[in-house]
Chains A and B, each alone.
Chain A
Amino acid sequence: MPIALFRIDDRLIHGQVVVGWGQPLGLGFIVLVDDEVASSEWEQELYRMGVPPEMSVQFSTVNEAAAHLAELQKRPEAGILLVGDIGTMGRLVKQADGRIRAVNVGGVHHSPGRVQRLRFVFLTPAEEQGLRDIAAQGVDVSAQDVPSARPVPLGELLASTTGT
């Protein structure tokens, strides 16, 4: 089964992922792609304890995830691949040989220099360009925090100034 969701979410593993998406997708595994977390046993333990027993979590660097993507997509259960920022997803998409068809912007929260585009998406100009670059590789980019929400296409996301 292909990975059901390639998600950018600065909270990484949290309630929206484990419960909000995890239950409707019947999620069996999470791949957390973050070079820093992949090198820290303590961080990995923190995230491992945040997932329910029926779900497994594995930690990868961008290079490892790209190298094992085909294999991950052949796993029998549904999975989510999570990254914490747009730059990381951009690096992964570049190395993925077209295996990533869609990217979900699930949560990029307020920080200095970012402009609010949706209630859960704030972007710097560089991050906006990062999303355009991902889309330019034939990837469908949309913003959606929970499964019941409408996916907001990239063009609409970048044009949005309402923050709703």
Chain B
Amino acid sequence: MNTVTDTDTATDVAPATVRAIVAGHGSFASGIISAVEQITGKGASFLAMSNTGLCLDDIQHTLARALDDSGAHVIFTDLPAGSCTMAVRRMIRARPGVLLVTGINLSTLLDFAMQDSVEPVVAVNAALERGRASMAIYGA
């Protein structure tokens, strides 16, 4: 699995196929990417990043370097109020064209993984709708 930390040289870990970075708390990113890999075999489309042990500046620097080295234009995060989301929102002020999608679930990421021949903005909008629509309550 592709992962990035504040001590990695991201060029060592980011293959050319990376289309998006997934960032979140604990093992959220590596966990959800492993699920995408298991279901679609397209886990290598994503780079995982955890906020564990990092201050806001470190999160921002690590994400910026991962974006630069991977050429990805999309960042997925787990929680709207999370530190990764805050860091990305601050960072993308100076990076037009980079898209942030927050509050994702597995359906969101699967849909994005399968749309690898369309523009990022088209793929993320479709993935967002798929992710929203996938949530349901049964037995109520």
Contact = CB atoms under 8 A, between A and B. Distances in A.
Contacts of A12: 56, 86
B101 to A, nearest CB: 15
A14 B58 CA distance: 15
Contacts of B57: 111
Contacts of A119: 53
B55 A46 contact: no
A99 B82 CA distance: 30
B58 to A, nearest CB: 7
Nearest to A84: B56
User: Which of A15, A42, A52 counts the most B-chain CB atoms under 10 A from its CB?
Assistant: A15
B83 A11 contact: yes
Given A14-B81, A15-B81, A19-B81, A46 B86 contact: yes
A110 B79 CA distance: 23
Contacts, number: 51
Interface residues of A, number: 23
Nearest to B59: A11
Contact of B83 (A15, A49, A52, A110): A15
B21 to A, nearest CB: 18
Contact of B56 (A11, A18, A51): A11
A12 B56 CA distance: 9
Dominant secondary structure at the A interface: loop
B31 interface: no
A138 interface: no
Given A19-B81, A51-B81, A52-B81, A14 B86 contact: yes
B85 A50 contact: yes
Nearest to A108: B55
A124 to B, nearest CB: 13
Contact of A46 (B25, B79, B82, B90): B90
A7 to B, nearest CB: 14
Interface string B78-116: 011111011001100100000000000000000000000
Interface of B: 25, 53-58, 79-83, 85-86, 89-90, 93
11 contacts: A11-B86, A13-B86, A17-B81, A19-B79, A46-B86, A50-B86, A107-B55, A109-B55, A110-B54, A110-B55, A111-B57
Given A50-B80, A119-B53, 7 more contacts: A15-B81, A15-B82, A50-B86, A107-B55, A109-B53, A109-B54, A110-B58
Closest 4 CB pairs of A and B: A109-B55, A50-B81, A14-B83, A18-B81
